[in-house]
Amino acid sequence: MTLLDPYRRQLSALEARGRARRLIDAEGADFSSNDYLALSRDPVIAAAITDAIARGVPVGAGGSRLLRGNAAEHAALEEQAARFFGAEAALFMANGFAANLAILSTLPRPGDLIVADALAHASMHDGIRQSRARSVFVPHNDAQAFDDAIARWRADGGTGTPWIVAETLYSMDGDIAPVAALADIAQRHEAMLLLDEAHATGVYGADGRGLAAHLEGAENLLTLHTCGKGLGVEGALVCGARALIDTLVNKARPFIFSTAPSPLIAVAVGAALGRIAGEHGDALRAALRARIAVADAYICAPLGLPSPASQILPVILGDDHRTMAVANASQRAGFDVRGVRPPTVPAGTSRLRLSLTLNAAETDIVALGETLKLHIGKGKDAA
């Protein structure tokens, strides 16, 4: 018996169940990234970074934002983001996980109630665990369940503020939340509404401002715009009322005790916001919609799947081993397709998460459809 034996047994058990994870290189046509608009290699964004380096903008921040790590580039991005998304204020953080952790562990107070969608991001679940507010998870995309949970809490004597927590576009199912209904419920119950736009930013709404863009500026709304997906860079922007943003600056441990994001990345995100706006952004979104239509015709229809609701297309196979066999066969055929298994998704719903991006051509989508038709439906060892 050694100190490492428990870890080795745990890894062996994951292997036996078909759930062991490994880091693999990005190879083949891109059907797994969140770089929906192919901005990660955009020359205009790259030129903005090059220009910033030439002007002497440092690579690293050198400390937290509350120490010496606060740079003019951070402030400029936050001002730009607040204007772009229509919020009173914005806060730039290292990533969406840290931002959700910061929001939910800091802003809901003792006596409040957090009502969250059961399939909300893992970062939301972790933030809720650290919150001092009471919490309840409700069935996915069931607006009435949110309403009922708040009503029951009030009937039981709840006097604090309810918090409604959801994504606008779900990362594993690709379906869209009932944003309007959630906003109505929040208004009726005088609740705060936290909407994570991670997979919608850049792709949906006027100028790519997200599925909740029409609600921005409301006093009870906080939105989170991840910068490492549709924007092609990294980081996250929390948008909302100035009082909420200032509270995060003063109280949120993931913000206070983290080294600030690179000022160069702040420059890059600012350039990315420019790229998703106007005619250029509209052209990118139109091209992505065309990819979705091709996937509907050449992947969904032949496999008997519902038409995609977004650029995220789940192919649910159920069995862990079979899922990974089909993913591996697709990778050997030249497509970067990844299998997703529990606990990332519920038990019995292991799937291929097909991500449609502008990094893959329409001909790649057609060819992937042929590969999937060849391997799906066979036994787990056939692929």
CB-based contact 200:168 (threshold 8 Å):
yes
Catalytic status, residue 328: no
Catalytic status, residue 131: no
The active-site residue out of 34, 105, 123, 141 is 34
Is 192 strand, coil or helix? strand
Is 74 strand, coil or helix? helix
- Chain position carrying tokens 């441990």: 253
The active-site residue out of 199, 258, 336, 364 is 199
Q: Is 321 left (phi over 0), alpha (psi -120 to 50) or beta?
A: alpha
CB-based contact 146:173 (threshold 8 Å):
no
How far is the C-alpha of 89 from the C-alpha of 110, rounded, in Å? 25
Helix 72-85 with 263-276: angle, nearest 10 deg: 20
- Chain position carrying tokens 């030249």: 334
- Chain position carrying tokens 């919609």: 289
In angstroms, the first-to-last Cα distance of the chain is 38
Helix then strand then coil, in percent of the chain rounded to 5, is 45, 15, 40
The active-site residue out of 32, 78, 95, 121 is 121
CB-based contact 210:85 (threshold 8 Å):
yes
Catalytic status, residue 321: no
The active-site residue out of 220, 229, 310, 350 is 229
Catalytic status, residue 173: no
The active-site residue out of 73, 117, 167, 173 is 167
Catalytic status, residue 171: yes
CB-based contact 1:305 (threshold 8 Å):
no
Catalytic status, residue 33: no
Catalytic status, residue 184: no
The active-site residue out of 123, 171, 262, 359 is 171
How far is the C-alpha of 350 from the C-alpha of 347, rounded, in Å? 7
The active-site residue out of 42, 112, 147, 196 is 196
Active-site amino acid positions? 34, 121, 167, 171, 196, 199, 229
